[in-house]
A = this chain, B = another copy of it.
Amino acid sequence: MISPQPPTASARIYADDLQVGRRYELDQYTITEDELVAFASAWDPQDFHIDGDAARSGAFDGLIASGIHTLAIYQRLAVTKTFATWSVIAGRRLDDVRFLRPVRPDDTLTGTIDIVDVVLEPARGRGLVITDAELVNQYGDPVLRARVEAYVRTRP
* Residues of A that sit less than 8 Å from B by CB: 1-3, 5, 7-8, 10-11, 42-48, 54, 57-61, 64, 66-68, 71-73, 75-76, 79, 83-84, 88-99, 102
Contact = CB atoms under 8 A, between A and B. Distances in A.
A84 to B, nearest CB: 7
Contacts of A44: 72, 75-76, 79
B8 A79 contact: no
A95 B95 contact: yes
Contacts of A11: 47
B64 A90 contact: yes
Contact of A71 (B10, B61, B68, B90): B68
Given A71-B71, A92-B99, A95-B97, A79 B45 contact: yes
Contacts of A67: 90-91, 94
Minimum-distance CB pairs A-B, first 8: A94-B97, A43-B72, A5-B57, A3-B59, A67-B91, A59-B89, A44-B75, A68-B72
Given A89-B59, A94-B67, A94-B97, A75 B1 contact: no
Contact of A84 (B45, B61, B90): B45
Contacts of A84: 45-46
A11 B59 CA distance: 14
Nearest to A78: B44
Contacts of A83: 46
A46 B88 contact: yes
